[in-house]
Chains A and B, each alone.
Chain A
């Protein structure tokens, strides 16, 4: 395989792949990280619609105090699968699988991930997982909520619950394989001229995300395997009448599922650190502080899980320890928030849709983060545990945080991925609808929870009707808000304005190649001569003429 004589214009690349991927290549086992990234993104955006449909059904039921729209079993099944799909088949695959795979090699100057085949395997574990979840509806759908606490998960819809477990084990395996790839790639595959303090912050965030996934996901797998055996093979790990212990499941579950919260937000923090400097035309404030705070969140995040279990008979010393460790997480998170605000401060801000979503995320996440601090405090948590306050809190961080971040990333990198710009006016309509819908949907939930409305119910006391109807209206607005977005994406993908290599004048390496990038990313690997965010240092005609 003598390759040195191949000229840059060689029509057929030597690895046996064509010059350009055709549409059907995106439906096959393909090892190109960009194809895999797009596969993840498209799959997850489809499941976003499925999970969103379930949410709309739930909110329609909750528009009235009585149970009059869905049967109780279907309500529980929608409730369980809404949470499961939104976490495991929407946010995680979109943020980690989608943008992680697409961007990391491009950002560090690599031609692909360290283990391309493993990468493709990791993606192809996802569609069967989705099929299992959808198929579980044939058996009535899992009923026990996304947490699937025993004993409820052991005594309801056994077949559907089993399929649910298998689906989660599949996506968990996918996440572990992906994390191995991300870590090794960022560690070993950087273009030689890139030093550790020149790595884009998104990659730092993905390092933290991957470590977290590697150490927490297998513990969930252990818990789910025990649950699987309890349901199907007559063991009694979580059956109190035979000596088992339900709290053990909760520990195993939350040892993963609290870090899972950070899995869903750390990549988003990385996206924020990319989008804000580009559209504020300023160097990022506190590069090292942001990079290390991701690692701090990763480390501390492994030791906070019991704050989900303050009412599970947890002894006082545990409550004290885990309250303190939980509140410590606010410090590295605050470091990031203040760094982004300081980056915006005095910047030449361009109000692109990507930037609007990033700033929207900032405001939403501060609110969701603060309600998280209240929930992490045992004395307060005991009162609002399992109420709508919790639902309001985590939707603020997951929708106001993660989903806003994914939107921001789509508006920011769509030109790179497709070679075409998204339509900005449609994007702004999308942003306004999403922003209003989010506030309207998730803010009243806090009030409902404080007043004592429990979560996961289909029927509620008539005194909660007004606020619930407000929430339902908000949910409908959110449902409508995705319409301009999907139209925008579908239309712009083929008909949008041509983007050029670097429409935002950004400095990270992915903008140094064509849009969309060629297979194997560059003809000649770029040489890093400056940091990723040195705006203001580089000669920039646009800025100079304006000032």
Chain B
């Protein structure tokens, strides 16, 4: 995909430039994080200005999200093993670790949906539930996109040699995105769940 086949030949016309996609993704994610920061700020404003937060009828569940957090955070380590493997040209291992990551992400999403179904209140119940569903929902959408990216990498890796120790920007970008989703979740979990303990 990178067109660096003849990088040894000095080309006069139409040379390819270096692969800047990772840099581009990082720049984009810096921007994307600010959108979540906007949501976080809104949440904190409401939290500091409303006496009972969260209100009695919308208490949050703690155990399931805590388990989910452990799953998501450890999946970040697993996907890192995957990119480490491809950097050593071990395609089979990469596929294995990426597969496990995808499974963990899917479990996280299922857990999230299960939590929604069992909470007993909905998006419209009150301001807290507005924030709760909007923020976790947006994060969930990002997890879903991350999952699609990982599945995309797995799909492309079915052809031998598509990813190798030199060409592995795809897995690398999927990993970076997955870490991003993870970091956002840690902040989100702290704000929505952990802070209710205090």
Contact = CB atoms under 8 A, between A and B. Distances in A.
Interface in A383-428: none
Nearest to B128: A243
Contacts of A13: 13-14
Nearest to B18: A188
B10 interface: yes
Given A218-B34, A234-B124, 8 more contacts: A3-B6, A3-B14, A217-B31, A218-B32, A222-B37, A237-B127, A242-B127, A248-B46
A157 interface: no
Contact of B14 (A14, A189, A244, A251): A14
Interface stretch (B22-30, B69-77, B80-88): B22-30
Contacts of A110: 17
Nearest to A255: B38
Given A8-B13, A235-B124, A118 B24 contact: yes
A222 B31 CA distance: 12
A221 B35 contact: yes
B39 interface: yes
Interface string A209-248: 0000011111101110110010001111100001111001
A188 B19 CA distance: 10
A219 B13 contact: no
A236 B127 contact: yes
Top 10 closest pairs, chain A to chain B, by CB: A222-B38, A218-B35, A235-B130, A218-B34, A234-B124, A214-B31, A219-B38, A243-B127, A3-B11, A180-B27
A243 B14 CA distance: 60
Nearest to A229: B134
Contacts of B34: 214-216, 218-219
A216 B130 CA distance: 24
B38 A243 contact: no
Given A4-B9, A222-B35, A226-B134, A245 B28 contact: no
A181 B25 CA distance: 10
A393 to B, nearest CB: 27
Nearest to A223: B38
A245 B45 CA distance: 9
Contact of A233 (B5, B31, B38, B123): B123
Main secondary structure of the interface of B (DSSP, over half): helix
Contact of B42 (A179, A214, A248, A524): A248
Nearest to B42: A248
B123 A234 contact: yes
> Chain A CB within 10 Å — which of B6, B33, B35, B37 has the most?
B35
Given A188-B23, A219-B37, A243-B50, A524 B31 contact: no
A10 interface: yes
Nearest to B38: A222
Contact of A214 (B15, B30, B37, B45): B30
B21 interface: yes
B166 interface: no
B107 to A, nearest CB: 27
A255 B5 CA distance: 46
Contacts of A8: 12-13
A57 B184 CA distance: 47
A6 B12 contact: yes
B38 A114 contact: no
Contacts of A177: 28
B24 to A, nearest CB: 5
15 contacts: A3-B13, A4-B12, A111-B14, A176-B31, A216-B34, A218-B34, A218-B37, A221-B38, A222-B37, A222-B38, A236-B126, A236-B130, A237-B42, A243-B46, A244-B127
A15 interface: yes
B5 A1 contact: yes
B3 interface: yes
B42 A15 contact: no
A4 B10 contact: yes
Contacts of B138: 225
A493 interface: no
Contacts of B3: 1
B20 interface: yes
B118 interface: no
B137 to A, nearest CB: 10
Nearest to A247: B45
A2 interface: yes
Interface in A1-44: 1-4, 6, 8, 10, 13-15
A520 interface: yes
B49 interface: yes
A6 to B, nearest CB: 5
Contacts of B35: 218-219, 221-222
Given A219-B35, A223-B38, A115 B20 contact: yes
A183 interface: yes
Nearest to B133: A235
A466 interface: no
B124 A188 contact: no
Contacts of A184: 20, 23-24, 27
Nearest to A177: B28
Contacts of A243: 46, 50, 126-127
Contact of A179 (B9, B31, B33): B31
Of residues B14, B38, B50, which shows the largest number of chain A Cβ atoms within 10 Å of its Cβ?
B38
In this complex, the member of B13, B17, B130 whose beta carbon has the largest number of chain A beta carbons within 10 angstroms is B13
B9 A3 contact: yes
Given A217-B31, A218-B38, A10 B13 contact: yes
B130 A115 contact: no
Contacts of B45: 245, 248
Contacts of A219: 34-35, 37-38
A118 B49 CA distance: 42
A235 B127 CA distance: 7
Contacts of B46: 243, 245, 248
Given A215-B34, A218-B31, A252 B13 contact: no
A184 B32 CA distance: 16
B38 A252 contact: yes
A180 B31 contact: yes
A523 interface: yes
Contact of B6 (A1, A179, A214, A229): A1
Contacts of B18: 188
Interface string B142-170: 00000000000000000000000000000
* Central interface residue in A4, A229, A235, by most chain B CB within 10 Å: A235
With most chain B CB atoms within 10 A of its CB, the pick from A13, A184, A221, A222 is A222
